[in-house]
Each structure stands twice: as structure tokens, then as C-alpha cells.
Structure 1
Amino acid sequence: MRMINSRVLAMLALVVFSVFALVGCGSGQQNPPAAQQTQPIEINVSAAVSLKDALAEIQNNYQAKNPNIKLVYNLGASGSLQKQIEQGAPADIFISAAPKQMDELEAKNLMNKATRKNLVENKLVVVVPKETKLNITKLEDLVQGSVQKIALGETATVPAGQYAQQVLQKLGLWDKVKEKVVFAKDVRTVLAYTETGNVEAGIVYQTDATSSDKVKIAAVAPEGSHQPIVYPAAITTGTKQQKASEDFLAYLFSAESKAVFEKYGFVMGK
């Protein structure tokens, strides 16, 4: 009798242990580790480098309110970013400094056309080193012999360079200054060349010029001398974070973001 009881107790103990083990396994599947639960959602934003300062402030504001979101910026020339997206680089949102790059990505069904809106607008200006002795007050002054080097963005990939070429051609100056042109990989590099005095003048966005205390604006491109400078923004068709991307894109058009963009000299898009 005692032997039977011992066997029964042993079997009961085994059953109880098995039940607890199964419950433990089941709860493990239903409740992943805390680190896994709190891992933030990453949104990859490919954006024109001229937006750098404004986007950095917007990033801080947005992540402070949304700790579950991590914004990862890829900043550069719009044409280079376009090529990266075409080659499969991770991107949830694209903000171009010109419609051309967005149009070409749309044509390849790489952008969600329904989400596209013009985010901000900008102006094009000639900048010179702060301490320059040259008398440059209009674009026509760039033909002077004392102006030996003029920095522009690469016209194949940098919208600011494309706008600059349009202006110079419109004013009949391109053939007179093209031998002086030093091309740069993006508009911030044009600014750097001018800040350091490696060139006598550079053509950049007004917002880039106002971000630096080492240059001054010598001239503004006349109205109608180039295509309107607009920055379209849209969500890519390849995004894996559709809802999170939609929320951040909406935030870019909010009153809070508008105040940041205007602080850095941008005008909100129409």
C-alpha cells in the first residue's frame, strides 16, 4: 500500500512539474523580454542636406514626445539620395530639394504619390566670405576678373547647382563664368568652400547662408530666373513603417514644425 502511494505521489509530482513548465513556456511566448517590448520603431528619412539644421531640431522635438520612435536621417544631395533609393537603400520618407528627383522616383513606382506634398520653399543667393574686399552686389559682378573661383553644387545631382545654372543661363552669364566654376558634392560643401575663402563666391540657398556667421549674402537671384525652389516630401512605397511614417510626415506640416522651418528661413509650401 505504501509502495502504491509512493508511486502515485511521484506521478502527481511529475504532472504538476509538467504543468508549471508548460505554463512557463506559454507565458514566455506571450510576454517577450522588456528590452524587446521597448525597442523603438526606426523611421529612415532621406532628406536634402540644406534641411539639416531644421530637421535636427524637429528630431529632438518629435522624439521627446514619441520615445517609441527613432528618427534616422540620411542627409545629402537630392540626386544622390534618389540613386540610393533606386538601389534599395532603406528609406521610409524622402524629402527632395526639387521636384525632379521626386518625379523620377514616382515614375519608377518607388514613392507613394498620394502622400506627396510640398513641404517648404527657399531662395537662391550669392554668398561671399564675411571679410571679402570684393564689391559683389549682383550676379553680373561674378564676371569680374577679381572673382577667380565660384562654387556651385554638381549640376547632375545637386538641385542648388541646377538652380544656379538656370539663373546664370537666364542672365546670359553662364558662358562667361563656367571656367571659374568649382563643383561641390552638395550645397553645404559650397558653403564650406566660401567660408574658408577657397572661392571668392558661392551660390547656395538663403537658409544655408543665414546658418553661417562666416559668409554674407551679396546678391539674391531675381524672381523668375529659375524654377521655384520647392521641397516635396513623400513616403516610399517600400516602407515597412507605414503608420509611423504617416504620423511623422503629418508632424512635419504641423504648427510646431512650421515654427522651426521659419526660424531657419524657410517658407512653408503651398
Structure 2
Amino acid sequence: MFRALSRFLPLLAAMALAACSGAEKAPGGPAPTVLAAASLQGALDEAAAAWAKQGHPKPVLVYAASSALARQAESGAPADLFISADEDWMDTLEKAGLVDSATRDDLLGNTLVLIAPAKTAANIDLADRSAFFTALGKGPLSIADPAAVPAGKYGKAALLNLRLWEFAEDRLAPGENVRAALALVERGEAPLGIVYGSDAEASDKVRVVATFPDSSHPPILYPAAVLKAAKSADAQPFLEFLHGEAAQAIFARHGFSQPL
């Protein structure tokens, strides 16, 4: 029972906070609850604030790994929008009949980078395996869980493509989401980590030492869609706002790109 409840804790906490502030209610109805990939935190906060400044109720934003959020939606957690960090988890919800397919579209793109603590001076040539493992030393490689979390899945694909996986697999320190992978490097507990370019952009405690070639992993896309269980009339308008010029400019400042 506790494990089932724990899947809802991020959502319940966010909704409770919104209830305390009164942000989830407005004359036009409830504000949309958005299940969003952890890597969107910061950028989506700013976009939601810009939306609220136009007179709309401020969306309730729930951040976690796309895998965890998809499972929350499958379990019946109340939400209006889902923004995933890969196509797979959106496909899962769509096949389960939980997504309004007519509203689904790719919202953003991203890059995959190798990071090190900010004090690290040298860049790394990913084609040079010895350079990679010299930089890793005896420490772990921080990465989001490659078994489920999109950033980790992209990371595994890139390592396989570059023939680094067989050497790195036993050195992984998998995190529950990409921000957890970032934090491990920020704290100096891992000499290297694999995150999105936007995550590296958000932190002054790490620096990018290499960028994985786009050809080394599937395209990094953020599909977004309204959920069929949506109760907020603002769900579709807010999604349209996120696709618009003002919101896209915000995302670009945070290191995101247009979807390919």
C-alpha cells in the first residue's frame, strides 16, 4: 500500500501547495495540473508565470521522471497535461487510451551532454575511450536510471554507440531523474555525469566537457498532450501558449531547442 501511495506523493504535495495558495481555483474553473519531466523545471516555471501574468490561474506543476509521471497518470492521479522527455512514455499513455491524441505534438528538443564539476579544466574527446576513463578515475558515472528514465535511456544509447557502455555499466550511479544525476556531480560525488544540455545550462556548479553527437542516440523530444481525464478548461489553451513564440523564447533561454 505504501508503494502505491508513494507514486502519488509528488502530485499530492504540489496540489496541496496550490490549495494553500488558492492558485488552483479561479472564476473560470480550476487551473491545469501539469505532469512535467523533471528537466523542464525552471523553464516551465517561468513559462507558467508568464501565462499567469496574462490573467489566467497559475498552473499546478508536478515534476518527476517521465516514467514516474506516466505511472501516476495510469494509476488515475488527477492531471490535465502530460509533458514527457521522450516519445515512449507518451506512447504508453496514448496506447492506454489516456491521451487526447488530437492534442499531442512535440513541444521541445534538447541535447545530451557529459558534465563535470565546474572546476574541471579539460574537455573530453568522446572518441577517445582512454580519455573518458581517465577523467572518470575511480568515481561513478552519474546518470538517470537507464532502465526507465528518458535521460538515462538516451545516455545508455549514446554510450553503446560510442562503445563505452561495456566499460561504464558497472560504474553507473543511477538517479531517479535527470536532476538527481545533475545534483550528484554538483556535490562532487561523481566526476562525470550525463544530463541534458538544458540541465547543464541551469547550474553554475558544473561545466559541459563533451556533447554527445546527435547520431549517437535517438532524437531528444518532449511530446506534450492533454489527458482525456482533464478537468481544467485551461488545459488546451495553456498547451497552445507553450507552443507559442513567447514561451518558446523562454525555453530557448534555458537551453532547449525546437523539436526536429
Q: TM-score range by the shorter chain?
A: 0.7 to 0.9
Structure 1 residue 64: deviation in Å?
1.2
Tell me, yes or no, if structure 1 residue 232 matches structure 2 residue 223.
yes
Using the alignment, how far apart are the partners of 2:254 and 2:158 within structure 1? 24
**TM-aligned CA distance change 1:132 to 1:56, over 3 Å:** same
Look up the SS of the partner of 2:34 in the other structure. Answer: strand
Amino acid at match of 2:97: N
Q: Post-superposition shift, 1:39?
A: 7.6
Work out which of the residue numbers 249, 264, 268 in structure 1 matches 2:239: 249
Where does residue 251 of structure 2 map in the other structure?
Answer: 261
Residue 125 (structure 1) aligns with? 113
8 Å CA contact retained: 2:51, 2:58? no
Aligned length: 232
1:143-222 → structure 2 map (5 Å cutoff):
143-144=133-134, 146-222=137-213
Percent identity at matched positions? 36
Post-superposition shift, 1:149? 1.1
**How far has the Cα of 1:132 moved from its partner?**
2.9
> 1:151 is matched by which residue type in structure 2?
S
Q: What is the alpha-carbon distance in structure 1 between the residues aligned to residue 139 and residue 53 of structure 2?
A: 47
Check the 8 A contact 1:125/1:206 in 2, yes or no.
yes
> Gapped runs of 5+ residues in structure 2?
1-24
Any idea what SS the aligned residue of 2:230 has? coil
Partners of 1:229 and 1:118 in 2: CA distance: 10
Distance in 2 between residues matched to 1:224 and 1:108, nearest whole Å: 31
1:246 and 1:37 map into 2 onto residues whose CA distance is: 16
Q: Which amino acid aligns with 2:85?
A: A
8 A Cα contact 1:44 1:73, kept in partner: yes
Pairing partner for 1:42 from 25, 31, 39: 31
Aligned pairs for 1:76-115 (under 5 A) are 76-115=64-103
Note if contact 2:35-2:83 (Cα within 8 Å) is conserved in structure 1: yes
Aligned counterpart, 1:57? 46
Aligned to 2:125: 138
Distance in 1, matches of 2:252 and 2:120, equals 29
The alpha carbon displacement at 1:147 in A equals: 4.7
- Would the aligned equivalents of 1:112 and 1:235 in 2 still touch at CA under 8 Å? yes
C-alpha distance in structure 1 between counterparts of 2:40 and 2:103, whole Å: 20
Letter of the structure 2 residue corresponding to residue 181 of structure 1: L
Could you tell me the TM-score, scaled by structure 2's length? 0.85
**Offset of residue 178 of structure 1:** 1.1
The alpha-carbon deviation at position 173 of structure 1 amounts to: 0.9
Distance 2:85 2:253 in 1: 18
* Conserved 8 A contact 2:120-2:207: no
Mapped partners of 1:258, 1:146: distance in 2: 39
Whole-Å separation in 2 of the counterparts to 1:71 and 1:207? 22
Looking at structure 2, the residues matched to 52 and 259 of structure 1 have their Cα atoms a distance apart, in angstroms, of 15
Q: Provide the secondary structure at the position in 2 that maps to 1:258.
A: helix
Alpha-carbon RMSD: 1.6
Q: CA deviation at 1:37?
A: 7.5
Measured in 2, the distance between the counterparts of 1:106 and 1:88 equals 14
Distance 1:206 1:147, change over 3 A: farther
Whether the 8 Å CA contact 1:41–1:70 is kept in 2: the answer is no
Larger radius of gyration: 1
